[in-house]
Structure 1
Amino acid sequence: MEFAGMVAIGLLIGLLIGLTGLGSGSLLTPLLILVGGLSPATAVGTSLAFSFTSKFYGSWNFYRRGMVQMDIVRDLSIGGLPGALAGAFLIRYLGLRQPGAMDAVLFRSIGAALIVVSLLMIARLLPLAMRPAAMDRTLPVSENVRRAFIVFAGFGVGASVTVTSIGSGAALIPAMILFYRLDSGTLVGTNVFMGTILAGVAGISHIGLGHVDWRAVAGLLCGSVPALWFATHLHGRIPRQIPEGIIAAALMAMGVHIIFL
């Protein structure tokens, strides 16, 4: 795709990230494949490089303002960093032993991740009366059980982020809601901070494997930066449910297309 096309995708992604906090991985990666024409491996690596670059400043700001729960980041990292490395090992193994199968595996994995993420988003958008009770309260479990679950969740998300670039937001937020009482700012700040760490570790792995299109990253940044600025001025004017509902429907459609068509 031409540079201008990447700028246009960046504009869309920046607008959606600014309105919902979602989209840097779950929406960008399939767009890079289906619209941008990148291979699945290059789309994942490019998405991770963009995600790290775009989230780094925001995560630092959250940390400076005391809106990052570092004990949760620690437990997520205990599982997430080995998970990210395991995902990198899987990609490298497929690339060396079965290069023809690597893109096919990544393609199907991305499709499955999109469907899971869309279902999680739909669950969050349900009216309060229709939600499972567990979605709105913390589970009464011991500290050891809670930490073990968070470490396990971190491993799964770390592997998913490396293989598909998807999962750091949509999967981590429900896990934290289940086990911790956090205000919305700390919830978002902790999620963004952990997502930046995983994007950095996974991105380095893909850079080493040559899976990053830096020209595409530059185009995405050129489009997303002004869109993010514009989106901040729309907060409160557009109900969150509208853009999140659009994203959920788009992710489900792309996931079904990737897996079944």
Structure 2
Amino acid sequence: MSLAYTVSGLLVGVLVGLTGVGGGSLMTPLLTLLFGFSPATAVGTDLAFAAITKSFGTLAHRAHGHVHWQVVRRLCLGSLPAAAATILVLKSAGELDAGWLHAIRVTIGVSVLLTVASLLLRKQMLAWLERHPRFQLEGRTQAVATVVVGALLGVLVTVSSIGAGAVGATLILLLYPRLKPAEVAGTDIAYAVPLTALAGLGHVWLGTVDWTLLVSLLVGSIPGIWAGAQLSRALPERLTRAALATTLTLVAIKLVS
């Protein structure tokens, strides 16, 4: 079975390399729906997986000066306490019963749908902001809004392992529309590292990380991401994003039904 996990990691890695998003939003539902892992184990293992893979991505973006550290600090100010509080709530619940597992599954589905909306509507939302510049936040209001967004993402990511990618990048872009695309990507990955690391450690404490599964996924995903990045030069971005959005929509419907 570990070979199947490695192949799955490879396929997800290719999609992440092609589109830049979709790691958690594909991996967690895949583990739940295809391999039958409990939602809690799928979330915990994927968070540990994300913390490791995003660390390498942060190093690359930092080397190119693509990380906007002030935005990272603001997001972490909201996301880290929210993640810690969410872990404590899950811990206080004791052994997760069927009701908790169903709630986590539905949260995963909703998070996937938010990812789809982020993929499909990002350009339209930015265009709307350009037409209505009075709604662009600045100064203290922008800083407070960033902390609040970080807190919301902290809860969402800790419960579902999804949201630190496309959803986070879209919200960063809406709050800071003057950032370059590379800066949005670098900043999104950089803030996600401490968030997924803390949430992942919390799930280790909860006992919901499958270490054998984690290693198998990493063995496949690392070369997969590299291969996807090479393929992205040949395939149109619109085509790959549309395919990813369609796949995620079907996955989300299956999760919430």
What interval of TM-score do these two structures reach, taking the shorter chain for normalisation?
A: over 0.9
For the pair 1:42 / 2:41, whether they are aligned, the reply is yes
Q: CA RMSD in A?
A: 1.9
Aligned to 1:216: 213
In 2, the alpha carbon distance for the partners of 1:57 and 1:105 equals 32
Aligned to 1:20: 19
Q: Identify the range of structure 1 (228-237 vs 66-75) with the bigger mean alpha-carbon deviation.
A: 228-237
Q: Identify the range of structure 1 (81-90 vs 154-163) with the bigger mean alpha-carbon deviation.
A: 81-90
In 1, the alpha carbon distance for the partners of 2:247 and 2:136 equals 35
Letter in structure 2 aligned against 1:104: H
Tell me the CA shift for residue 135 of structure 1: 7.2
Equivalent residue for 1:143, pick from 120, 136, 139: 139
Contact 1:137/1:177 (<8 A) preserved? no
Taking the TM superposition and a 5 Å limit, the aligned residue runs for 1:58-137 are: 58-96=57-95, 99-124=97-122, 132-134=127-129
Structure 2 gaps, min length 5: none
Contact 2:126/2:174 (<8 A) preserved? no
Equivalent residue for 2:164, pick from 165, 168, 179: 168
In 2, the alpha carbon distance for the partners of 1:156 and 1:259 equals 21
In 2, the alpha carbon distance for the partners of 1:58 and 1:230 equals 15
Contact 2:18/2:229 (<8 A) preserved? yes
Change (3 A) 1:114 1:218: same
- With normalisation by structure 2, the TM-score equals 0.93
Tell me the CA shift for residue 136 of structure 1: 8.4
Q: Identify the range of structure 1 (153-162 vs 232-241) with the bigger mean alpha-carbon deviation.
A: 232-241
Cα shift readout 1:196-243 (whole Å, capped 9, x = no counterpart): 121101000001111011111111111112212222222321111222
Aligned to 1:251: 248
Letter in structure 1 aligned against 2:201: I
* Deviating 4+ runs (over 3 angstroms): 135-140
Aligned to 2:183: 186
In 2, the alpha carbon distance for the partners of 1:228 and 1:179 equals 28
Aligned residues between the structures:
255
Tell me the CA shift for residue 132 of structure 1: 5.0
